Copies of this chain bind each other. A is one copy, B any other.
């Protein structure tokens, strides 16, 4: 039961005073939400021209790969609700409650409603996606962080730090050597966030890709 009754408006969900949240591993029925989050991530970083994936390819890549030898991808979601989540004895860090100084309005709440929680209002606030891979640089394998995003109305509340830390703790516990990631060059607040979380920028490297027609040309030339 909600400690404080929420006010819902036609412009989305308003949270008053209390915001309950938890981190959980995404499952296949979360794919439509994951893809919406991904679209917002690409808009945020001003790289929508690079987004060639779609809901079906995300579902295949995360849950039903045609390529059985690909490293499995882990997606962690932050869920928020007006009601407390069932507590999990295994890990007290997986849920928390936040006292709001002022009401929080989620204007896009309906797009991010988790439908399986039919008794409660539960919404997706952000996600992180990462997978393990070999590295020639380190003694142990590393994780590549593919996506990291907190929806705008839930920023500056510690959710990003919590989600990133949850991933980093898991990676450290597994004995992996590094979390590698890309960040937009121009985005100072994002770079500052990752630096604050302990990451260092490898100024030595530039990112390149061989894709599209340039890659297909190799097959054409061989025929």
Contacts and interface: CB of A to CB of B under 8 A. Distances in A.
Interface of A: 38, 45, 47, 50-54, 57-58, 61-62, 65, 67, 69-73, 93, 129, 131-142, 144, 146-147, 165, 168-169, 171-173, 177-186, 191, 194, 197-212, 214-219, 221-222
A41 to B, nearest CB: 8
Given A169-B218, A178-B210, A198-B217, 8 more contacts: A53-B137, A53-B139, A61-B135, A69-B71, A136-B146, A144-B144, A171-B215, A178-B211
A213 to B, nearest CB: 9
A149 to B, nearest CB: 10
A215 B201 contact: no
Contact of A52 (B54, B129, B177): B177
6 contacts: A54-B139, A71-B71, A134-B146, A179-B209, A185-B204, A202-B209
A208 B201 contact: yes
Given A53-B137, A134-B62, A137-B53, A205 B182 contact: yes
A180 B202 contact: no
Given A206-B185, A210-B179, A215-B178, A38 B136 contact: yes
B50 A137 contact: yes
Nearest to A45: B204
A69 B72 contact: yes
Contacts of A38: 136
A211 B69 CA distance: 26
Interface residues of A, dominant DSSP:
mixed
B198 A214 contact: yes
A216 B146 CA distance: 21
B132 A218 contact: no
B71 A70 contact: yes
A214 B135 CA distance: 18
A75 to B, nearest CB: 10
B133 A70 contact: yes
A182 B200 contact: no
